[in-house]
Amino acid sequence: MSFEFLHPIAEDVLENIERLHKSTLGKQISFHTPNNFPDLAKIKIAIIGVVENRRSVDSDKISFGFDHIRKEFYKLYAGNWHENIADLGNIHAGDTVDDTYFLLKQISKDLLNKNVIPIILGGSQDLAYAQYRAYDDYGQMVNLVNVDAQFDLGDTTQNLCNKSYVGKMIVNEPYNLFNYANIGYQTYFNAQEEINLIEKLFFEAYRLGEISSDITLAEPVMRDANLVSLDVSSVAMTNVNPKMPNGFSGKEICTLARYAGISDKVSSFGIYEIQDLDLTKNSAMLVSQIIWYFIEGVNLRRKEYNSSFLREFTKFTVPLENEHLIFYRSEISGRWWIEIPKSKNFNNKLKKQSLLSCSHQDYLDACNQMIPERWIKAYRKNEI
């Protein structure tokens, strides 16, 4: 099994746990220790650190701070949670970066096969490529949401790095990526040709100001994601990051993590570029709170989107000039979806994408003859 390549939790971290209050997370989580590996049959969420950043183009740091984050996380108190959590330790850097990618891909795949959600703490964000490749045998195409100031499309003719991993997802076989959505991009960090390419591929991109003005715009996007990659350098320097004068606040980034956790579809969550954080209590605490809010979201999942969901949904049909839009509202949560009609060219791998998450405002706009942009892009992708 791939889990034999995971290194146990550090002894000083385990010693620190002994001094914690009995109600803290440190007293409730299962740990990979030198003498014990958690029974994954009883686990829903697993934390993994990946000690790797050799493909980072702008960082030469070799200190990752995972243990600092763990110590701050273990001190937190759980909510009214029912899902079991394990900390499986770290993947150490392999002889080559590709060796590290392979281990992360295989371990993530094995966890997904056991219905365990991996929370990946990574050095550089090129590790998101390995997270994505864990879905190669998933049986359908997948949606990636990336919380980042940059698109990270990069130059796909060059080696994979933390500024080109999304481009590699697009051009490398097998072609599994149905939708890429960026949340929080800052225009001056992205070339105009990359912005144009996002539009040409019918991908989604939401500017930082747009999301900060109405963060609920991100919820339907997260609801459709299979995997989420979060770049901690998208947080403003007033919180943790000296390189980023503008970015999300701590409250906003935790809200986005909670949206990701609540999504019934999100099955892996990566937090990357940790090697660029200043190793302060403030930065370690913020990352620990991002983890906390994601787990909080997982524990609040409604499991609405399944084979019998229509029994709990109310259907609304909105007539337009040349189209009928069909909306569904959940009677469990009040959330909304819109139907994507199948076409003659519809790819069988996309069958499960026939419903698209949306907002109540999208329904109101449709009633005023305005077609939601997300619907248009999803429909166009299905036509390709």
Query: Each residue of 270-309: pLDDT tens digit?
Result: 999 998 666 556 889 999 999 999 999 999 998 886 656 6
Task: Name the β-bridge partners of 143.
Answer: 179
Residue 139: per-residue pLDDT:
87
Closest residue by Cα to residue 253 from 264, 241, 243: 241
Q: Residue 311 has which token pair?
A: 């029994």
Does residue 348 register a pLDDT over 50?
no
CATH of domain 2-299: 3.40.800.10
Q: In sequence order, what DSSP letters do the residues of 286-352 get, joined into one string?
A: HHHHHHHHHHHHHHT----SSTTGGGGEEEEEEE-SS-EEEEEEETTT--EEEE----TT--GGGGG
CB neighbours of 67 closer than 8 A, spacing ≥ 6? 10, 12, 13
The band of 352, judged by pLDDT with boundaries at 50, 70 and 90, is very low
Does residue 341 register a pLDDT over 90?
no
Q: Is 45 helix (H, G, I), strand (E, B) or coil?
A: strand
Are 372 and 362 in contact, with CB atoms under 8 Å apart?
yes
**Main-chain phi, psi angles of 348, to 5 degrees:** -60, -25
Does residue 172 register a pLDDT over 90?
yes
The gap between the terminal CA atoms of the chain, to the nearest Å, is: 39
Residue 376: per-residue pLDDT:
92
Residue 304: per-residue pLDDT:
81
Residue type, 102: F
Residue 164: per-residue pLDDT:
97
**Domain ranges for the chain:** 2-299, 309-383
Are 231 and 371 in contact, with CB atoms under 8 Å apart?
no
Does residue 242 register a pLDDT over 90?
no
Q: Residue 278 has which token pair?
A: 């200043």
- Report how far residue 31's alpha carbon sits from residue 13's, in angstroms, rounded to the nearest whole number: 11
Does residue 15 register a pLDDT over 80?
yes
pLDDT tens digits, one per residue of 84-114: 999 999 999 999 999 999 999 999 999 999 9
Average pLDDT over residues 250-263: 97
pLDDT tens digits, one per residue of 185-201: 999 999 999 999 999 99
- Burial pattern 337-351, b for ≥16 Cβ within 10 A else e, equals bbbbeeeeeebeebe
pLDDT tens digits, one per residue of 41-73: 999 999 999 999 999 987 666 668 899 999 999
Average pLDDT over residues 106-125: 97
Residue 292: per-residue pLDDT:
98
